[in-house]
Structure 1
Amino acid sequence: MTSLLTGTDGRARCAWIGVDAEYARYHDEEWGVALHGDRALFEKMALEGFQAGLSWITILRKRPRFREVFHGFEPNVVAAYDDDDVERLMTDAGIIRNRAKILATIGNARLVTDMEPGELDDLMWSFAPAVGIRPRSFTDVPAITAESSEMSKTLRKRGFRFVGATTMYALMQSSGMVDDHVEGCWRAQ
């Protein structure tokens, strides 16, 4: 499998985007860009949890609706959700209707609201590794690292759910804690 694809704009990109325009936009504008803030990282954690077992493009396409029905992923608002909200979300075809993931998102929001402002950001970024070697191909990109395993373990100890080591590595990639743009990608820095 090739690690790069050249788009119609002449730019070489990580080949995982395929030919999907939304994936290309996400790759160019979001993936690997440093993301900070408790709300933003809570949203990323929730969406990565919903993605488990599915493709990321499914989540990207549903993200606007997720943001709408989860009130912008404001932790204080989501933490106050009750059984009626769970049922409302379970009937919304615009999102992933998985009760365990919905309940985890609500529970995780409650844990975030118990933290000091900025604590989630500080905690998650404390696991960002030192700048590593640029991957030459997809075979050089791990699914799990010691840092993502430790992040997962720490979050689970605090009660967070749907935060496995693979999910946390995907979060680290998407939030810029690691930069896995392969050699030759125009975004590789």
Structure 2
Amino acid sequence: MKECSWPSSDLMKLYHQNEWCRISKDDRYIFEMLSLEGAQAGLSWETVIQKRAAYQEAFHGFDIEKCATLTDEEIESIKENYKVIKHIGKLKSVRNNALIVKQIQDEYGSFSNFIWAYVEDEPIINEWKSENEMPAETDLSIKVSKDFKKLGLKFVGPKIIYSFLQSIGIIDDHIITCPYHTRNR
């Protein structure tokens, strides 16, 4: 079977094989992916994935409660002392988004319940023959992006959200011949 060709490094291959387009309903993981996808804005996923361990350490494993209480000083310390992307707006968005995710959890029971409701708890399983067929955004990612922005979430444009939806398994975009495609597992 022919795998997706985009993973170029060992880290990317591991992510592709074990996480990408795999269903997750774990709020902490979903929040991590939202944060990392936001960090990617304007950069490559390769850059972010190489810094993932530093992000996990700096942001307490993406514990939503802890991220929501980070001070400006702590965020500045993360910028100075960790091998993360140094964009202060992206770093502050983790705290901002954690605060909003907490509100979503209070209202919907979990962040997972909220985000999976967009697809009525059923993943979108695409059947691309080629990676060239894959869109960068869709009507769904545009809608989720608009809704997220209305809630006050940061770094949630339609392309970022499309990648986010892939990362938590709402969308399976493995090419149909990839052994990691839902239909082949």
The answer to whether the superposition gives a TM-score over 0.5 is yes
Pair 1:48 & 2:41 matched: no
Alpha-carbon offset, residue 132 of structure 1 = 4.6
Pair 1:123 & 2:111 matched: no
Q: 1:108 to 1:135 in 2, by over 3 A?
A: same
SS in 2 for 1:14: coil
Higher mean alpha-carbon deviation, 96-105 vs 119-128, is at 119-128
Alpha-carbon offset, residue 55 of structure 1 = 1.1
Kept after mapping to 1: 8 A contact 2:126/2:172: no
* Structure 2 equivalent of residue 140 of structure 1: 133
Kept after mapping to 2: 8 A contact 1:127/1:148: no
Deviations 1:19-68 (A, max 9, x none): x2111111111111001122211111000000111111111111111011
The gaps in structure 2 that reach 5 residues or longer are none
Whole-angstrom CA distance in 2 between matches of 1:26 and 1:87: 29
Pair 1:59 & 2:48 matched: yes
Tell me the amino acid that sits aligned with residue 176 of structure 1: G
Tell me the amino acid that sits aligned with residue 155 of structure 2: F
Larger Rg, first or second structure (1 or 2): 1
The gaps in structure 1 that reach 5 residues or longer are 1-10
Alpha-carbon offset, residue 83 of structure 1 = 1.6
TM-score by length of structure 1 reads 0.88
Whole-angstrom CA distance in 1 between matches of 2:125 and 2:65: 36
* Structure 2 equivalent of residue 17 of structure 1: 7
Identity of aligned residues (%): 32
In the TM superposition, structure 1's runs of 4+ consecutive aligned residues that sit over 4 Å from their partners are: none
Tell me the amino acid that sits aligned with residue 125 of structure 1: W
Kept after mapping to 2: 8 A contact 1:38/1:118: no
Alpha-carbon offset, residue 100 of structure 1 = 0.6
Tell me the amino acid that sits aligned with residue 17 of structure 1: P
Whole-angstrom CA distance in 2 between matches of 1:126 and 1:145: 17
TM-score by length of structure 2 reads 0.90
